[in-house]
A and B are shown apart, each in its own frame.
Chain A
Amino acid sequence: MAAQGIEQTGAQPTPPGAGYPTGGKAESTSTFSWTPYVFLAPYLVLFTIFVLVPAIFGLWMSLHNWDYLMPKQPWVGLQNYINLFTPGSPTAAFFWQSMKATGIFTLFSVPLLVIIPLLVALILNQSFRGRNFFRAMYFAPYVLGVAVVGILWRYLLQPGFGLIDYYLGTDVAWTTAMPWAWIALVGMTVWWTLGFNAIIYLAGLQDIDPVLYDAAKVDGATRWQRFLNVTLPGLRPVLLFIITVTILASANMFGQAYLITQGGPNNETRTAIMYIAQEGLQNFRMGSAAAMSYILALFLVVISILNFKFLSQKEED
């Protein structure tokens, strides 16, 4: 799942490679002006209250047993974090099970969402009639949110009378049995967000200078060789973006499991986000949930950095 669900809790994914500002021409440096601060203020107020403060406040919460309806939030230091790594603690088993679920989902959805949209974009990249129409059709599911897509697919995946079983001629419990539940979740996520990645690939493909292809053809390169030596290298920044964004989106999967499998069967599809939300808002242990969220965040940051390094390094070869 790509950058859909840009969470409105304050932070959104970014294309890596975003450069720093090339400094603007300095205005009269001797006079101080309120103007920049006036322009910045409205956004900064929002940013401070709903991004900066929570980022730090969350850490603070994670050091307490935090239940906002109780009169006191007792300090526990790093206990919430330690519990996550102590086998036999009430949260460790469930947390790592949910991390495993997130890992499985990411592992299976990302390759599909990196490769298939590329193929679709390659087909779309030829000039022909109706290209924009097809492009819009593949993108259409993406504009529907996870709620619509989730309730729709829950119905489609019902054994017996759901469209999937009907046309496949099977009678599989797609939402309540393994491994079908994972296949169903990954499959519908690919359906839902394929268009998003395809669009980005398409833009990247169109950015590649046609001259490079001509030169390759002159050199006698085959289609496959042209793909390997012109297309793929030309797509590198886009690939980096797609892989990173898709990994992040898959690791944040919540809505599909919440609506279609409810984390079942037996919590096997309960993703990390689901469990964190459950621990904080259903079990009323916000401190523990906050700690889990920081552990998950750590994983994601490390993966993003590794991803960036890996793909940038290849460029130097």
Chain B
Amino acid sequence: MAGATAKPEERNTGDLAKRILSYAVLILLTLMFVAPLLWMLSTSLKPNTATTALPLSWIPKPFSNEGFSTILGSNSQSPALRWFLNSMVAGLANMALILVTASMAAYALARMEFRGKRVLFAAIISTLFIPPIILLMPNYQIVDQFGWLNTLLAVIVPGAAGAFGVFFLRQFFLSLPRELEEAAMLDGANRYQIFFRIILPLSRAPLATLAVLSFLTNWNDFLWPVFVLFTPGSLTLPPGLSILQGAYTTNYAVIMAGGVIASIPVLIVFILAQRYIIQGVARSGLKG
């Protein structure tokens, strides 16, 4: 469906005026969305005194690395690089865990028959309606029992239990033509071979989409990490930024520098994988 236009264009001056108006609105909107991000970048490069001084200026004069050096330095209170690494490790590990477990489970649900399949699928789907908050306290207790509190395991493993990945991939697997699998089975291939040699290679696009969405979700997760990670060295970026704000309340150069560090990877991922993300999001709203 990508790229389909809703209505054909008519060429006349009224239409031209409408187009100019549309562009104007779109550009104005773009400014409103992008300006705050540019301001964040600009502030991070100013000396702190300039961040609250009036009149405001968009270009840092002078440029200062005060903000970045404070949090990238060897100061043990706000080790932003450490947080960055933690987020990276957690994000990638969580993503991998989701891809492996969800793809296998989705394939079983899409293509295999077994006892209790309907009930299981209903159970999994129904959890999509569960407000996550009811799981907060019990999962905290469970994670504590495993000894995972204040470790990255607490932000890697529980997050892979969500139903979205299974649901998403199952939809896709259902849409694949059965003939391929049937042909392979006639050739004597077993399920494992079919899954790894036929299904997965065909699923690159949805797998990429799920990978990107999972990574982003984990990278940005806030409520859970804020409560299960304690010491400065164990935090991921979102709770780290919260701590940074608490410790440097009015030192906006430092706080914005933290924001920039947290934003750069996701913006890069976004630019490179834009298509996957947007398609993935769009697809989730449609039935098919």
Contacts and interface: CB of A to CB of B under 8 A. Distances in A.
B137 A293 contact: yes
Interface stretch (A82-90, A104-112, A140-148, A173-181): A140-148
B7 interface: yes
Interface stretch (B66-74, B200-208, B211-219): B211-219
Contacts of B266: 143-145
Contacts of A161: 51-54, 56
Given A9-B139, A148-B241, A296-B133, A123 B22 contact: yes
A78 interface: no
Nearest to A240: B285
Contacts of B222: 5, 145-147, 254-255
Contacts of B141: 57, 61, 68, 286
A123 B21 CA distance: 10
A210 B132 contact: no
A100 interface: no
Contacts of A18: 125, 128, 167
Contacts of A55: 127, 130, 134-135, 138
A220 interface: no
Interface in A252-288: 252, 254-255, 258-259, 272-273, 276-277, 280-281, 286
A43 B131 contact: no
Contacts of B237: 147
A147 B162 CA distance: 22
A58 B36 contact: no
Nearest to B5: A127
A134 interface: yes
Contacts of B155: 8
B192 to A, nearest CB: 7
A300 B128 CA distance: 12
B136 A276 contact: yes
A290 B140 CA distance: 12
A237 B287 contact: yes
Contacts, number: 395
Contact of B102 (A43, A50, A163): A43
A207 B286 contact: yes
B198 interface: no
A70 interface: no
A256 B242 CA distance: 11
B282 A199 contact: yes
B64 interface: no
A5 B223 contact: yes
B84 interface: no
Given A27-B113, A143-B267, A161-B52, A58 B135 contact: yes
Measured as residues with beta carbon below 8 angstroms from the partner, the interface class of chain A is: 35 or more
B204 to A, nearest CB: 19
A13 to B, nearest CB: 6
Contacts of B135: 7, 9-11, 50-51, 54-55, 58
A12 interface: yes
Nearest to B260: A148
B25 interface: yes
B137 to A, nearest CB: 5
B137 A304 contact: no
B26 interface: yes
Contacts of B286: 15, 203-204, 207, 237-238
B159 A8 contact: yes
A127 B223 CA distance: 40
A43 B285 contact: no
B114 A36 contact: yes
Contacts of B25: 123
A251 B215 CA distance: 24
A196 interface: yes
B88 interface: no
- Which of A39, A293, A301 lies at the interface centre, i.e. has the most chain B CB atoms within 10 A of its CB? A39
B104 interface: yes
A51 to B, nearest CB: 5
Nearest to B213: A6
B256 interface: yes
Nearest to A60: B138
B282 to A, nearest CB: 3
Contacts of A10: 127, 130, 132, 135, 139, 158-159, 161-162
Contacts of A242: 285
A167 B137 CA distance: 43
Contacts of B269: 143
Contact of A147 (B26, B54, B134, B238): B238
Interface in B146-178: 155, 157-164, 166-167, 170, 174, 178
A9 B278 contact: no
Q: Which 8 A-B pairs have the closest CB atoms?
A: A145-B220, A8-B159, A14-B128, A7-B132, A203-B282, A147-B238, A43-B105, A54-B138
Given A143-B267, A156-B36, A293-B134, 8 more contacts: A10-B158, A18-B167, A39-B108, A40-B104, A54-B138, A145-B220, A281-B140, A296-B133
25 contacts: A5-B222, A5-B223, A11-B130, A13-B128, A15-B285, A21-B121, A24-B111, A26-B113, A35-B191, A39-B112, A39-B195, A46-B158, A55-B127, A61-B141, A128-B19, A137-B30, A140-B37, A155-B40, A155-B255, A200-B285, A206-B2, A277-B223, A281-B227, A296-B133, A297-B134
